[in-house]
Each structure stands twice: as structure tokens, then as C-alpha cells.
């Protein structure tokens, strides 16, 4: 059933307080819920409809009296109380559930012997009958009772009020959360866990106990998570003036989790892979992900929990904003440019394709069948870009004023994206005409810009036009407000001062001689607009969309010489990188067309020269160099083609890599030699940058398939003292098929077979391989003793990893599609949320040639015809077929 934003209605009843009682057991769990209900409007007695799924109702009482059969209705999804008393009343419901059989990992379930919960978006209804919607906010208390030896630790939200022993070897704990919250933030954990304890003193002097809970053997791997948490707490105080509001903050790491992590009030639950790290077992990328996600969930305490969403269409209100906050946090803790490059690459590689396909939806969707399908890169990452645009338009101080007003107005409320918009606007008396369209229009806007210089008047003009492409259900779009950050480079490569801009019939002065400005933000909001810069003494090279100031596709009339010039000189480091990417994309597309016409492939010497000069530029940050010499992804290039051709794109990308490796072999060798780790592992930018540069150099070199280089890679593998270097060397060795590869892979497995997170990397590495015919290898890994289809991390590593190799996923014989189709059907019976993520790999099937189209379509049709298909998979598969 499809649900629409326009149908939103306020609830007839609110819940003031809820007291829950869980009796956890091996055979069943009994949940008793006591709710204090009040009507929104005095005097009504409309039916009260509660959500519930897979529950066994044991009893229901209103004001202490058991309801008779005719006083309520039960169906598979609801419990309806036909005519509740008018005024306030109490509601007592007892249900029985079976967490030990819950493989969906939604609601209350078991993960390696421990109980835990995941309620967002609509999992609470699998625990008890409730108004499972975020605009119903109540105060919770939670009593948990369980066997003491099996579940020595009992946790829930808020403060621990009381605990004690019971007869029969059982014990209990009573928790109380003083803050009102929607039920999606409820959490419970019970199990054999130990904690790393620390504390943080807030700036107003509150002493907060911090505890990170894991099974005993993992405790040593929580040092970095604790460091990240304390850094996040400090950062939110420094940057947003936001303090933690309770005396206890718990994080629990569980190995079975559908997503990354969950911001339950004072009891964050995390996928283990985003908590556990040691230099020997986690890579720099893992360390960075942990920092970002620990920050993300902590930041939700204000953006999500204190101020929450009115309904699930508003998800980006909390997610876009919180992703923006975690991006900024990571930038401040490391390198801003490198972080920005990583975030923009992610947007291009994952969000752009979504925005151009059958699942395209606005940052605030208009409808959904299953909310879980809308925890997307569009809601999260494009949503974060929308928040970033406010900051670009208002400046740091203006943005902070908007945030302050948002909390002042809405603390304790469930609100909408318009409320956030209004706070930003009102705090700054800003004119945000056409900005709200970013929330309602799907599709990546395409912006064209042409430049002209008029020597006789010393003026320089930029003419912009914009077009938002049609997307399913939205054939026609309006122009939006697009902030375009611009700088102008003189012939020496220095930024020119920008003094005044003529636009829309008025001349606006930007800066004066004594206070020059070198970068400005143009507010482009019509279909076509021209901006004319005055006092420009020579023809400049414009640096447009600095810092990637809006999530758009930009086509400019810059020549290759201009781009090379920007790559060498732009003061905006992001745009230096971007200039290189534009050049590389152009080059790759033209080689793809040569390849398709069976022409020999040749690499422009200027491109090689450009890469050589970046490699040798000692003034550059090493991680920046690593990013700058990374070619655009295959997906990014296919995304720019009329008909996506995975074989051609792969061949071209491999050709360029190999060609660069042979032309620049001595440079790459020197980089490997000179950037080896000397000190013990440290998570700081300097050391990570060295590792990144060394490892990408090694990856280039192995493409030469040269025995001497293989020796080098093996040496790096054996001498590595941390997982970053060890895994990078293994990945390099694994690029080329053969005995050495097989031996290295099996050596790695033997070393790490007892560490499931490392084994997942081993699965992913093999699954992502571009070695021809790799589907057979992946199929046999499914039967590997370490694989378990019930564990989402393993599925994402092996099946998700396989989808990361376009040549194998899109193999011309359809073997990749067939494999995926069968897995989806099997997985859907176990865990619909995970199955639904995997089936998304099919969604862009229309982008390929006819043979591939018909093979992929056949699999989608096979999936659609499966018995008992979940709504999750149904939504993605049916939309993919129809659009
Ligand atoms: N709110 C979580 C976050 O921090 C994500 C939870 C998503 N869960 C789900 N079942 N879709 O991003
Ligand atoms: Zn989040």
C-alpha cells in the first residue's frame, strides 16, 4: 500500500507516558505496555488505531478493565479500539513475541546470543501495539527482566533507577528516560557484555559517564570509538553550542545489524564494524568511518531526538542535517579538502545514478510503499548538500543563527523541513526564493555556463542556464535557487579581486580596494541568468562552483588548457581536483568511443604530463595527490553515456591505469619506497596521507603484471604492520589472477579466520574482483563455512561486493543477473530490508544494451512472481520494471 505525504493527518490521540515491562525468555518474551492516553481534541471518542505486526495479543485493558471481543478489532497490521472513553484513559496491553526467531533484525531480535532492538523506522510495532509514528512523543520507563547468568547486562534508554535479583536465577533493571520521544528511539539491550568506561565533562559542568559495550574479547578494540565519541561531544559544543543532556551515554556494538547504526536516546546501537578497530585489523577507511558514524549518531541527540520528524517523509530533516554535521566534524578532525572530495565522489557515484533512475525521489519523497526503502543516498547525502547550501548562502554565522533559532523554536517537537527552512530564513531575514524546490523536485539539475570577456569595458560575463531533468511522476520542473561559488584567476594563476557584479539590472558592489574579496557566491535562480563582473583587467580563467557549492552537473565552456591551468593553480583545492576529474572524464569518454569503434587506444601525452607534475609536486598534501590521481569510477563514466557499456569502460580504465603505470613507473616506485610506514600506526592525517599515496602507487604498479612488481607487492604484504598496508598489498596482489594471488588470499584467511570483520574484507575483496567469470568464484564463497546469509555484513561484503564489479555483474551471458536474482528471492524470506538493498542493483537495467536489458528484466520478472514477496522488494522491483 502506497502512503502519501499529502494525506498526513495529525493523530487523534497522544500518549503522555508509557511504561514497558519486558520478560525476556528463550521460548518467548512477554511485553506489557501501560500507556497514558489523551485525546488531541477534548471530547472526541474516535476509534484509536494501533499498529502491530507479528504479535500475539494476550490481553488488553482500558482503565483497568479487560476489553470484550466486540470492543476491539484485530487484523494483521492493527489493533483498533472501537470507542475509547472520552477524555484521558489508561491502556494496558500484553503481547507475546519470539525474538529468537526474528531474522528481519527489526523490532526485538537476538544477535549472537544477546537481545537487542532496532525500531526505526517502523520496528516498534513488532514489539507491542502502539501508534508507531514519530509525531506521538511520550515519556518512557522500561523494566527489563531476564536470566541473570545469560543476560547479566540489562540496558534501556535514560537513567538506571533500580536493579535487583529475582527468584529463579533472574534479575531486573528499571530505566527511565526523562525526555519525551517517539517510539522509533526506544531501545533495549540484554546480554553478556562488558564496557569500556570513560567520562566527559560538558562545558556547563555536567559529568557524563560514557560506556561502550561489546563482548569481552572485543573490548580492546573500542579505544578509537571512545576517542571519537569524546571528540564529537566536544565538537558539538564548540561549533553548535550543543551539550549532552543526560548523565549517561551508552553505545552497544552488535554483529547483526541491517544498517550502520542507530541513535536511540542515550543507548546508541551500532553495527560492530563501525565500533571495533585496532591497527592490526582495521584500515584507515574503517577508522575514518567509525569517527564519522560515532559522530553522526551522537549528533542526532539534538538533530533527530530533541527535535524530531513529524512524519517519515521528513526523514531528511534529521538525516540530511546530521550527515552535514558529521561531514563537517570529520573535516575539522582531518583534511577539509580530502573529506569534501570523498563526499562529492560518493554523491556522484551513488546518488546521481539514483536520481537519474526509476527510484529517483526528492529529498523529501512524496510517497512510499515501505519507508525502509527511503533511507537512501538522496535523503542522506543529497539532503546534506541541501543543508550545506544554506551555509554557503548565509555564511557560517548566519547558518549558526538559523540553527539556534531552530532549537529555540522546536526543542521537544516533531517538525517538518519547512520549519527548518523558516528558521534559517527568519534568523537571517533572507530571501530564499525557489529554494524549497530542492526538497520537492527530484533529479540532478544540469547547469550550463558560458563565459565572455569584453576588453573595451573590462568586464567578464558568465551566462548560466539550468534544467532539472524529468523523473518518474515529475515530467516538468521549475528553476531552483542554486548557489554558485566563483573565483577568477589571472594569467599568473592568482585570484583577482572581485569588486562589483552587474546582475538583474543592478550593479552590486562586492568588495572595496582595502578589503578585497576573491571568491563570491552567485545566487542563480532563473532558467537563464547572466552575471557581469566589472573592473576585470584581463581575460580570466573562471573557477566555478568552488567547493562544489551545489549538487548539480556542471557543463562549462572551459577548454582543456583552462582546466589544466585550474588544476595547476586554483586556490580552491576542491576545484583543482575537480579540474583534473573533468579532464579525466572527457578523456575516458573519448577513449570509450574509440574502443567501441575498434580503434587503437592512445593516451594524450598532456594527460600523462599532468599526472606526472601532480606526483612530483611536493607542496601538495599526499592524500590530495592520491585523490587527484584516482580516475573517475566506472559507474560515473557509464552514467554519462547514452547506452552504458561496462566492458568498454572497464577496458579503458584498465588501459589508462596500465599506461600511466608504465610511463610513470619510476615515480610510482619512488613513492612506494619513500612513503613506507616508519612509526607505529597512528590515526592522523599525515600518516594516513602517506599510506594512501604509497598504496595507490602500488595499485598502479601491479597493473604492469611484472614479476618484479609482484615481488614488491608480496614484500609489502609480508612486512605490513597494520591492516591498511596489509590489505592494500593483498588487494594489489589480487588484481592479477594466478597462483600467487591464490596463495596470498589463502594465507590472509588463515591469519584472520577468527576475526569476522577481517574475514568480511576478504569476502569483499574477492567478490569485487574484475577477473573474468568471477561469478563462479562468488557462488562457491557462498558455501564457505565463514559465510552466513543471515548476517547483513556478510551479505553486503559478498553479494554487495559482487555488484561493485560492473563487468561481472553485467556479464553478457546474464550469469551475474541470474545469480543475483536467485539470491534476492532467497534473502527476501530471511531479511526483506537486506534483500531490498540487493535488488536495487537491478534498478538501472534500462541503461544497458538490449541483450542485457532482456536478461535483467527476466530476473526482475522472476523476482516479482515469487511467492510471498515482501513489500520492500516489491517496491523496488516493480518501480524498476514500470518506470
Ligand atoms: N537513523 C539511523 C541513522 O543514523 C538509520 C536507521 C535506519 N534503519 C532502517 N531500518 N532503515 O542513520
Ligand atoms: Zn542518521
Testing ligand 1's pocket by substitution, the residue of 262, 298, 316, 835 carrying the most ligand atoms inside 8 A of its CB is: 262
User: Which pLDDT tens digit goes with each residue over 13-40?
Assistant: 999 999 999 999 999 999 999 999 999 9
Concatenate the DSSP letters of all residues of 151-200 into one string: --EEEESSEEEEEEE-GGGEEEEEEEEEEEE-GGG--EEEES-EEEEEEE
Return d(Cα 620, Cα 626) in angstroms, integer.
10
Ligand 1 atom 4, closest CA:
262
Q: Which of 391, 378, 493 has its CA nearest to residue 439?
A: 378
Tell me which ligand sits closest to the C-alpha of residue 122: 1
Rounded CA-CA distance 123/796 in Å is 21
For residue 122, which of 159, 154, 77 has the smallest C-alpha distance? 77
Closest alpha carbon to 833 in 250, 5, 38, 105: 105
Read off the DSSP letter of residue 535: S
| φ, ψ for residue 509, nearest 5 deg | -85, 130
User: For residue 759, what are the CA distances in angstroms to 70, 278, 282, 755?
Assistant: 56, 15, 11, 6
3-state SS string for 637-674: HHCCCCCCCHHHHHHHHHHHHHHHHHHCHHHHHHHHHH
Atom of ligand 1 nearest to the CA of 371: 11
Q: What is the signed CA dihedral for 588, 592, 598, 601, rounded to 10 degrees?
A: 10
Residue 837, CA distances (Å) to 387, 472, 857 in order: 26, 20, 17
Give the chain's mean pLDDT: 98
Q: Label each residue of 84-129 as H, E or C.
A: CCCCCEEEEEEEEECHHHCCCCCEEEEECCEEEEECCCCCHHHCCC
- Say yes or no to pLDDT of 883 above 80: no
Mutate-to-test residue for ligand 1 from 259, 296, 383, highest number of ligand atoms within 8 A of CB: 259
Half-sphere exposure of 142 (CA within 13 A, CB side): 27
Between 605-616 and 665-674, two packed helices, what is the crossing angle to 10 degrees?
Answer: 20
Cα 297 to middle of ligand 2, angstroms: 6
Rounded to 10 degrees, the C-alpha dihedral 127/131/132/136 comes to: -130
Residue 822 sits at φ, ψ, to 5 deg, of -65, -40
Q: What's the pLDDT at 512?
A: 83
Cα(351) to ligand 2 centroid in Å equals: 17
Task: Report the C-alpha gap between 372 and 379 in whole angstroms.
Answer: 12
pLDDT at 732 over 90: yes
Average pLDDT over residues 94-112: 98
**473-519, pLDDT tens digit by residue?**
999 999 999 999 999 999 999 999 999 999 999 999 988 888 899 99
pLDDT at 75: 97
What percent of the chain has a predicted confidence (pLDDT) above 70? 100
Residue 496 C-alpha cell reads as: 583577482
Q: How many A from CA of 119 to the centre of ligand 1?
A: 9
**pLDDT average, residue stretch 533-548:** 97
Helix intervals (H) in 348-493: 352-355, 377, 383-410, 417-428, 437-440
Which residues have CB under 6 Å of ligand 1? 120-121, 258-259, 261-263, 296-297, 319, 372, 375, 833
Instruction: Take atom 5 of ligand 1 and give the residue whose Cα is closest.
Output: 262
Q: Does an H or E element contain 762, and which?
A: helix 756-767
Q: Residue 87's closest CA among 44, 46, 150?
A: 44
Say if CB 473 and CB 361 are below 8 A apart: no
Count other C-beta atoms under 10 Å from residue 332's C-beta: 13
Nine-digit cell at 137? 512523543
Q: Where are the alpha helices (DSSP H) in 555-630?
A: 560-569, 573-596, 605-616, 622-628
Structure confidence by residue, pLDDT tens digits, 116-146: 999 999 999 999 999 999 999 999 999 999 9
Query: What is the Cα 381 distance to its own chain's centre?
Result: 6
- Residue 754: count other Cβ atoms within 10 Å of its Cβ: 8
- Measured from the Cβ of residue 263, the count of other Cβ atoms closer than 10 Å reads 23
Task: Quickly tell me which residue has 530564513 as its cell.
Answer: 425
Quote ipTM for the complex. 0.98
Which CA distances in Å does 206 have to 176, 248, 310? 19, 10, 30
Q: Residue 329 C-alpha to ligand 2 middle, in angstroms?
A: 14
Which residues have a Cβ under 8 Å from the Cβ of 819 and sit 6 or more positions away?
775, 778, 779, 802
Task: DSSP for 556-568, please give it.
Answer: E---HHHHHHHHH
pLDDT band at 725 (very low <50, low <70, confident <90, very high): very high
Write out pLDDT tens, residues 625-650.
999 999 999 999 999 999 999 999 99
Beta strands per DSSP E along 43-88 = 48-51, 56-62, 65-66, 72-74, 78-81
Task: Tell which atom from ligand 1 comes closest to the C-alpha of 375.
Answer: 11
> Any idea which ligand is nearest the CA of 317?
2
pTM for the complete prediction? 0.99
Would you state the cell numbers that stand for residue 806, as one nine-digit string? 560492473
Question: Which is catalytic among the residues 92, 297, 328, 716?
Answer: 297
- Which numbered atom of ligand 1 lies nearest the CA of 319? 12
For position 678, what pLDDT does the model report? Answer: 81
Q: What is the mean pLDDT of residues 700-727?
A: 98
Q: Each residue of 248-258: pLDDT tens digit?
A: 999 999 999 99
Residue nearest to atom 1 of ligand 1 (CA): 262
- In this structure, the number of other CB atoms found within 10 A of the CB of residue 111 comes to 21
Query: For residue 832, which ligand has an atom nearest its CA?
Result: 1
Task: Write down the pLDDT at residue 425.
Answer: 98
Q: Whose CA is nearest to atom 3 of ligand 1?
A: 262
Please report, rounded to a whole number, the percentage of residues in the chain having pLDDT higher than 90. Answer: 99
The residues with which 267 forms a beta bridge, in sequence order, are: 250
Q: Please, which residues have CB within 8 angstroms of residue 714's CB and are 6 or more apart in sequence?
A: 729, 733, 740, 744
pLDDT at 820 over 90: yes
Q: Give the model's pLDDT for residue 552.
A: 98
In angstroms, the CA 109 to CA 98 distance is: 8
Q: pLDDT by residue (tens digit) across 666-713?
A: 999 999 999 998 889 999 999 999 999 999 999 999 999 999 999 999
| CA–CA separation, 513 and 498 (whole Å) | 10
Half-sphere exposure of 88 toward its Cβ, with a 13 Å CA cutoff?
Answer: 6
The residue-averaged pLDDT of 286-298 equals 99
Annotation says 573 is catalytic: no
Pairing of β 48-51 and β 267-271: unpaired
Q: How many Cβ atoms from other residues are within 10 Å of residue 545's Cβ?
A: 23
In which region does residue 631 sit, left (phi positive, over 0), alpha (psi from -120 to 50) or beta (all else)?
A: beta
Q: Assess contact for 329 and 235: CB atoms under 8 A.
A: yes
- 363-376 mean pLDDT: 98
pLDDT one-digit tens code per residue, 753-803: 999 999 999 999 999 999 999 999 999 999 999 999 999 999 999 999 999
Amino acid at each position: 500500500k502506497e502512503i502519501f505525504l499529502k494525506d498526513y493527518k495529525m493523530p487523534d490521540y497522544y500518549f503522555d507516558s508509557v511504561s514497558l515491562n519486558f520478560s525476556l525468555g528463550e521460548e518467548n518474551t512477554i511485553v506489557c505496555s501501560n500507556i497514558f492516553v489523551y485525546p488531541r481534541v477534548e471530547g472526541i471518542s474516535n476509534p484509536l488505531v494501533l499498529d502491530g505486526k507479528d504479535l500475539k495479543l494476550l490481553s488488553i485493558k482500558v482503565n483497568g478493565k479487560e476489553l470484550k471481543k466486540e470492543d476491539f478489532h484485530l487484523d494483521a497490521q492493527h489493533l483498533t479500539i472501537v470507542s475509547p472513553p472520552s477524555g484521558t484513559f489508561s491502556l494496558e496491553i500484553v503481547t507475546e513475541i519470539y525474538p529468537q526467531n526474528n531474522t528481519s533484525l527489526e523490532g526485538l531480535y537476538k544477535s549472537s546470543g544477546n537481545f537487542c532492538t532496532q525500531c526505526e523506522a517502523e520496528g516498534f510495532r513488532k514489539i507491542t501495539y502502539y501508534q508507531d509514528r514519530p509525531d506521538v512523543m511520550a515519556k518512557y520507563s522500561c523494566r527489563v527482566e531476564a536470566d541473570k547468568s545469560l543476560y547479566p547486562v540489562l540496558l534501556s534508554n535514560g537513567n538506571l533507577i533500580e536493579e535487583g535479583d529475582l527468584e529463579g536465577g533472574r534479575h531486573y533493571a528499571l530505566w527511565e528516560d526523562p525526555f519525551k520521544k517517539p517510539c522509533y528511539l526506544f531501545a533495549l539491550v540484554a546480554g553478556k557484555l562488558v564496557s569500556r568506561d570513560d567520562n566527559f565533562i560538558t562545558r556547563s559542568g555536567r559529568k557524563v559517564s560514557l560506556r561502550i559495550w561489546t563482548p569481552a574479547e572485543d573490548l580492546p578494540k573500542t579505544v578509537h570509538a571512545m576517542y571519537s565519541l569524546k571528540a564529537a561531544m566536544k565538537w558539538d559544543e564548540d561549533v553548535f553550542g550543543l551539550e549532552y543532556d543526560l548523565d549517561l551515554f551508552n553505545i552497544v556494538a552488535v554483529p547483526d545489524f541491517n544498517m550502520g547504526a542507530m541513535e536511540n536516546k542515550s543507548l546508541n546501537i551500532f553495527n560492530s564494524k563501525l565500533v571495533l578497530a585496532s591497527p592490526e585489523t582495521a584500515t584507515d577507511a574503517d577508522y575514518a568511518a567509525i569517527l564519522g558514524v560515532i559522530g553522526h549518531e551522537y549528533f542526532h541527540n539534538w538533530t533527530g531526538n530533541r527535535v524530531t520528524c513529524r512524519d517519515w517523509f521528513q526523514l531528511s530533516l534529521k538525516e540530511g542535517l546530521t550527515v552535514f554535521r558529521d561531514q563537517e566534524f570529520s573535516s575539522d578532525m582531518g583534511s577539509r579538502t580530502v573529506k569534501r572530495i570523498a563526499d562529492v565522489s560518493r554523491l556522484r557515484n551513488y546518488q546521481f545514478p539514483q536520481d537519474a533512475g526509476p527510484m529517483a525521489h526528492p529529498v523529501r519523497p512524496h510517497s512510499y510503499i515501505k519507508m525502509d526503502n527511503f533511507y537512501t543516498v538522496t535523503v542522506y547525502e543529497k539532503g546534506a548538500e541541501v543543508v550545506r547550501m544554506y551555509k554557503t548562502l548565509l555564511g557560517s554565522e548566519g547558518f549558526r543563527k538559523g540553527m539556534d533559532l531552530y532549537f529555540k523554536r522546536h526543542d521537544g517537537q516533531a517538525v517538518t523541513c519547512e520549519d527548518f527552512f523558516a528558521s534559517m530564513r527568519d534568523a537571517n531575514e533572507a530571501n530564499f526564493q525557489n529554494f524549497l524546490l530542492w526538497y520537492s523536485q527530484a533529479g540532478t539539475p544540469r547547469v550550463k555556463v558560458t563565459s565572455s570577456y569584453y576588453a573595451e569595458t573590462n568586464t567578464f560575463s558568465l551566462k548560466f542556464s539550468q534544467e532539472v531533468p524529468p523523473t518518474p511522476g515529475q515530467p516538468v520542473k521549475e528553476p531552483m535557487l542554486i548557489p554558485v561559488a566563483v573565483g577568477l584567476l589571472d594569467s599568473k594563476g592568482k585570484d583577482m579581486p572581485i569588486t562589483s557584479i552587474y546582475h538583474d539590472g543592478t550593479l552590486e558592489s562586492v568588495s572595496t580596494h582595502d578589503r578585497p574579496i576573491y571568491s563570491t557566491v552567485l545566487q542563480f535562480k532563473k532558467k537563464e541568468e547572466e552575471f557581469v563582473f566589472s573592473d576585470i583587467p584581463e581575460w580570466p580563467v573562471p573557477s566555478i562552483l568552488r567547493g562544489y557549492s551545489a549538487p548539480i552537473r556542471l557543463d562549462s565552456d572551459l577548454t582543456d588548457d583552462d582546466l589544466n591551468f585550474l588544476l595547476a593553480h586554483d586556490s580552491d583545492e576542491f576545484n583543482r581536483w575537480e579540474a583534473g576529474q573533468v579532464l579525466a572524464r572527457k578523456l575516458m569518454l573519448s577513449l570509450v568511443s574509440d574502443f567501441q569503434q575498434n580503434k587503437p587506444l592512445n593516451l594524450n601525452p598532456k594527460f600523462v604530463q599532468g599526472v606526472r607534475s601532480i606526483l612530483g609536486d611536493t607542496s601538495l598534501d599526499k592524500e590530495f595527490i592520491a585523490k587527484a590521481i584516482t580516475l573517475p569510477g566506472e559507474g560515473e563514466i557509464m552514467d554519462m553515456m547514452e547506452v552504458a557499456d561496462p566492458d568498454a569502460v572497464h577496458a579503458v580504465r584498465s588501459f589508462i591505469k596500465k599506461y600511466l603505470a608504465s610511463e610513470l613507473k619510476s615515480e610510482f616506485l619512488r613513492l612506494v619506497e619513500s612513503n613506507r610506514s616508519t612509526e607505529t600506526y597512528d590515526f592522523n592525517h599525515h600518516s594516513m596521507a602517506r599510506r594512501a599515496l604509497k598504496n595507490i602507487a602500488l595499485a598502479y604498479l601491479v597493473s604492469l603484471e611484472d614479476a618484479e612488481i609482484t615481488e614488491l607487492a608480496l614484500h609489502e604484504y609480508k612486512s605490513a604492520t597494520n591492516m591498511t598496508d596489509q590489505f592494500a598489498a593483498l588487494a594489489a596482489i589480487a588484481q592479477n589472477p594466478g597462483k600467487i594471488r591464490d596463495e596470498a588470499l589463502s594465507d590472509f584467511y588463515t591469519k584472520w579466520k577468527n576475526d569476522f570483520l577481517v574475514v568480511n574484507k576478504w569476502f569483499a575483496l574477492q567478490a569485487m574482483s574484475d577477473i573474468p567469470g568471477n561469478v563462479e568464484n562468488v557462488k562457491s564463497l557462498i558455501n564457505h563455512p565463514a559465510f552466513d546469509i543471515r548476517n547483513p555484513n556478510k551479505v553486503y561484503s559478498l553479494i554487495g561486493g559482487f555488484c561493485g564489479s560492473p563487468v561481472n555483474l553485467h556479464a553478457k551471458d546474464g550469469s551475474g543477473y541470474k545469480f543475483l536474482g536467485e539470491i534476492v528471492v532467497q534473502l527476501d524470506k530471511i531479511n526483506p530490508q537486506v534483500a531490498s538493498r540487493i535488488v536495487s542493483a537491478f534498478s538501472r537495467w534500462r541503461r544497458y544494451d538490449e541483450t542485457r536489458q532482456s536478461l535483467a528484466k527476466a530476473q526482475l520478472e522472476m523476482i516479482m512472481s515469487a511467492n510471498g514477496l515482501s513489500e520492500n522488494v516489491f517496491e523496488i522491483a516493480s518501480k524498476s520494471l514500470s518506470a
